[in-house]
Chain A
């Protein structure tokens, strides 16, 4: 009985360990030749096609909300001239990677988990292994790299769309002056803010693809198993991405001093 309780209590540790071991397998397979270029391009195209439009649509209100919120707050402080800078900082450092993460996990990750899960229950993955082909090398590595690449570019897109959205709302709705908004861009924001945003996007793409692939490849028990795998992969990815975002932001704020005046 006691061993049963212990094994129950330790089950999450085991699950985390298996996920990590899977990530190591992927890392090892990623350096193996030949690289699956075709699959990589197809997957990158596929992930981009399911994420670009929703991401752009999410980015506009995201940028707008930040502009409204920050604009209102800053007005109370009487520092309207910094509105542009503050909203750029917020969009590039936080909103862009988070928006990317949501879409990569929600649209890209769920598609990967569903695809691999369906292959798993149709025994396609078994068939592949029996044909002497490692599915991690053939299917997972291209997906992980494609997801990272797409996340990287999506992050750039969210930044641009978000900042543009913020500009429109600030200028049109809050009577900000276009010149002041644009001129203050570099007052508080600095280049490393952009780097950390892009770095976060890469990490988020990696985590989302690894979790989705792991869940998909371990789906079991018929069509319901695939549904469960997709559901779990999205939830787990969200949790991990927000934790990762928190940790990366903390480290960044410690390492890179904020720009003064």
Chain B
């Protein structure tokens, strides 16, 4: 039933360059969260810090009472068994075929017999739709298939937390849509905690329960999907609606002149909030909240036309 991740006051810099500072958030158990941010704001660094591949300078990451940031190497290897991670390019072991890749964690960590291994591997391969490709080498298949194979490997130890590093990078829109549907279905099925790092707006708008936005070396906002999608906060508003008007420029921040030039410009109205992606069997996920609940509870009027269509509000370049 998923595990909560409590991040407190996390800070990381490489040399003198601060990547992000004072990041505090709680990723609720069993929910899908998306971490957004312009390119180069350290989203991947954040993800790698969560699994202890990078040590933060300050702060703590609590998972089931263990602090990833300060625990011993041995505890770290132990706690990582709770995780499944999908890396950007799948990170499949190039010397093994897909079957051996997916079976690898089982063979290393469990005493399962080969026939039991086979059952689990085939189940996961079926889940990601790769049955029939077991004998292929990672070099012989497309990027989308590599990602799905990476997902199968990440799921094979029944993780409590699944991290996705840009699942949609390098995929065409159709495959991205399928992958997003797969993520939602998986969450409905295994109830693990999901964290997706991406800069794909469509994914961010329709998939998660919660959204976080990393910007300008800090966490600009983290909260329920509807809170961010209806937010008037300039950075959040600009990024989630892919607009040019706002504080984010081509190179990180706009300078004073550019901002002054935008002074008089009127912001386009907030686009309607789309429906959240439902699992393909139509039964809402355990952590899914009814559309409009947050807005109603906090007295926020959602933009007109909200919650009517699943691809509402996509107005690129507006």
Contacts and interface: CB of A to CB of B under 8 A. Distances in A.
Contact of B85 (A124, A127, A138): A127
Contacts of B92: 124
Interface string B145-165: 000001001000100000000
A132 B87 contact: no
A124 B108 contact: no
Contact of B87 (A119, A126, A133): A126
Nearest to B138: A122
Most chain B CB atoms below 10 A, which of A126, A131, A134: A131
B94 A130 contact: no
B22 to A, nearest CB: 26
Interface stretch (B74-82, B229-237, B250-258): B74-82
B89 A123 contact: yes
B53 A126 contact: yes
Contacts of B104: 131
Interface in A96-111: none
B83 interface: yes
Interface of B: 48, 51, 53, 77-78, 80-81, 83, 85, 87-89, 91-94, 104-105, 108-109, 150, 153, 157
Given A126-B87, A130-B53, 14 more contacts: A122-B89, A124-B91, A124-B93, A126-B91, A127-B85, A127-B91, A129-B80, A130-B51, A130-B80, A131-B104, A131-B108, A132-B77, A132-B80, A133-B108
A138 B96 CA distance: 15
Nearest to A25: B73
Interface in A114-164: 118-119, 122-124, 126-134, 138
A134 B88 CA distance: 21
A141 B266 CA distance: 63
Interface residues of A, number: 15
29 contacts: A119-B93, A122-B89, A122-B91, A122-B94, A123-B88, A123-B91, A124-B93, A124-B94, A126-B87, A127-B91, A127-B150, A128-B93, A129-B77, A129-B80, A130-B51, A130-B53, A130-B85, A131-B80, A131-B105, A131-B108, A131-B109, A131-B153, A132-B78, A132-B80, A132-B81, A132-B109, A133-B77, A133-B105, A138-B108
Nearest to B82: A132
Nearest to A128: B93
Contact of B53 (A122, A129, A134): A129
Contacts, number: 52
A134 B73 CA distance: 10
Nearest to A42: B95
B159 to A, nearest CB: 10
Nearest to A133: B108
B77 A126 contact: no
Contacts of A133: 77, 105, 108
Contacts of B109: 131-132
A118 B94 contact: yes
A5 to B, nearest CB: 16
B53 A119 contact: no
Nearest to A138: B108
Contact of B48 (A126, A131, A132): A126
A146 to B, nearest CB: 15
B87 A127 contact: yes
A129 B87 CA distance: 12
Contacts of A118: 94
B163 to A, nearest CB: 9
A126 B83 CA distance: 13
Nearest to B74: A134
B94 A123 contact: no
Given A129-B53, A130-B51, A131-B108, A119 B81 contact: no
A87 to B, nearest CB: 43
A82 B186 CA distance: 79
A130 B88 contact: no
A61 B192 CA distance: 65
A138 B108 CA distance: 10
A134 to B, nearest CB: 7
A134 B51 CA distance: 14
A176 to B, nearest CB: 50
Contacts of B105: 131-133
Contacts of A124: 91-94
